[in-house]
Amino acid sequence: MQSPSDILKDIWTSAGGDATALARVHLTGEEPQIPSSFRVAVAGQATIAAAGLAAAEIWRLRSGETQDVTVDMRHAVVECRSERYLRLDDKPPPPAWDAIAGVYKTGDNRFVRCHTNFRHHRDAVCKVLGCEAEREKVQAALMQWKGEDFETAAYAAGGVVALMRSYDEWSALPQARALADLPLVSIEKIGDAPPKPWPQGCSTCDRPLAGLRVLDLSRVIAGPVAGRTLAAHGADVLLVSGPELPAIPWLTIDTGRGKLTTFIELKSEAGRAQLRELLKDADIFSQGYRPRALAALGFSPEEAAQINPGIVYVTLSAYGHAGLWAERRGFDSLVQTTTGFNHAEGKAAGIDGPKELPAQMLDHATGYLMAFGAMMAKARQAREGGSWHVRVSLAQTGRWLWNLGRLDDGLNTPDLAVEAIHAAFMETVSSGFGTLTAVRHSAALSKTPARWSRPAMPLGSHPPQWPSQS
């Protein structure tokens, strides 16, 4: 199996990074760290290190100074479960899942996973099944279905579910073969534009991304983690949501650190005009909506590049931008189920049925890869001009994680309870919700330490405008 350093090297050089910069990265710790047969701790460490090194390289481009980047493996995997360790006024997170979310058997003796944390997804499942939102009634109804038929019908009705497949079953699907032709992080030039100079004269130009403006249109984990990472390195990140959009409060708190947050109603022309004005002055546009959803509102990558030539546009999808499933909705837990992880982990544990990874690792690793790709594309824009499109997906990150190999004794590793977390991994700060005890960023940069200079705030707390940089 590849070493953590070799894994990082592959990520870094595949995106055009200078291999000599890798000498300034120090990866500490050994695997396994948490119970899994997959290399989840290394995946977290490598993706966080890639983003940290990208930030360090931007600092070198802006200041001429090099610096070291250190990522401890245990700290990294703790950060990849940051929502678990968050405490609000010393209280742990509430139950994260809707009452009927989870795994069920179907009439053909298969397993399906339903993701019903958002009301409209729960309603779609219940409509297809013709039952009330009670776990026993959902299970009884599913015994009348074949697993794949239910998966297809639920998606057609606007739900998000996944049939548990083995890795071999997944690999035989056309969608898996489509992903095999894609890079882990796609960075493509989509338009001409002159190079944009790095911001000058801002009042806090002491971090790599100081003065850069990021529009963050994302929810749940992966996209918000990307924005949180960019904010940790000094970017002005404006999270754009809508008062009618469902959200998961605990995740909003955890991933909202460092960001401004505003409401814009994108279904109205007035709201779209507001977003266009913000986009004109943005450096990075990061979005995690279902493919083509923003394009229907006039904010496709190509349209964004017309509004703001030189933009770096970052797209997150569940199953990749190619293939028959390119527009399919999805979340980490569903992609784990569909692509073979839950089946393989269950087999390794000796159980009949799915077993989840011990972290939402596809989400978190993809979030750091989003931030990494955004920074690498921004560095290219500053050097050679152009507008750029960065694309990542949960399924492609899953394919990469699978190919890192397996750990024979990984499932015997004791889990990391909050009491076992090193105090140096945590910080206590004020927020718009109360006092937070939360995981610090695990990429330690020697000259520009990562930090969040803005507190997490309730959604919609700020006006739809950029802060002054004077």
Q: What is the pLDDT of residues 46-58, one digit of tens each?
A: 999 999 999 999 9
Mean pLDDT, residues 119-145: 94
How big is the chain by its Cα radius of gyration, in Å?
21
- Residue 152, classed as helix, strand or coil, is helix
- Residue 418, classed as helix, strand or coil, is helix
- Could you tell me the pLDDT band of residue 446, with boundaries at 50, 70 and 90? very high
Mean pLDDT, residues 446-459: 97
Helix or strand run (H / E) with residue 189: strand 186-191
Structure tokens at 381: 């824009």
Mean pLDDT, residues 269-284: 97
pLDDT at 98 over 90: no
- DSSP type of residue 299: -
pLDDT at 461 over 90: yes
Nearest-angstrom CA–CA distance, 114 and 21: 44
Mean pLDDT, residues 123-152: 95
**Best-predicted range by mean pLDDT among 6-15, 91-100, 198-207?**
6-15
pTM of the model: 0.96
Nearest-angstrom CA–CA distance, 274 and 221: 25
Q: What is the pLDDT of residue 470?
A: 54
Q: What is the pLDDT of residues 396-410, one digit of tens each?
A: 999 999 999 999 999
Q: Which CATH class is domain 1-470?
A: alpha beta
Nearest-angstrom CA–CA distance, 95 and 109: 29
Q: What is the pLDDT of residue 42?
A: 98
Nearest-angstrom CA–CA distance, 387 and 416: 43
Stretch among 1-15, 71-85, 327-341 having the lowest mean pLDDT: 327-341
Structure tokens at 334: 């569903």
- Backbone phi, psi, residue 312, to 5°: -105, 115
Answer for the pair 399, 339: CB distance below 8 angstroms, yes or no: yes
Q: Report residue 84 CA to chain centroid gap.
A: 16
Q: What is the pLDDT of residue 154?
A: 93
- Nearest Cα residue to 285 out of 394, 383, 190: 190
pLDDT at 469 over 80: no
CA–CA distances in Å: residue 316 to residues 287, 313, 396 = 6, 10, 11
- DSSP type of residue 408: T
Looking at the chain, the number of H-run helices and the number of E-run strands are 17, 16
- DSSP type of residue 340: T
Beta bridge partners of 162: 113
Mean pLDDT, residues 73-102: 92
Q: What is the pLDDT of residue 204?
A: 57
Helix segments in 269-406, DSSP class H: 269-280, 301-307, 332-338, 341-349, 361-384, 394-403
Q: What is the pLDDT of residues 160-172, one digit of tens each?
A: 999 999 999 999 9
C-alpha angle with apex 280: 277 to 285, nearest 5 degrees? 105
- Backbone phi, psi, residue 125, to 5°: -60, -45
- What contacts 24+ positions apart, CB below 8 Å, involve 355-359? 357/36, 357/38, 357/40, 358/34, 358/35, 358/36, 358/40, 358/81, 358/415, 359/34, 359/40, 359/44, 359/77, 359/80, 359/81
Can you give the residue ranges of every domain in the chain? 1-470
Mean pLDDT, residues 368-386: 98
Answer for the pair 287, 314: CB distance below 8 angstroms, yes or no: yes
- Backbone phi, psi, residue 445, to 5°: -95, 130
Provide the percentage of residues in the chain whose pLDDT is more than 70. Answer: 99
Indicate the average pLDDT of the chain. 95
Mean pLDDT, residues 340-351: 97
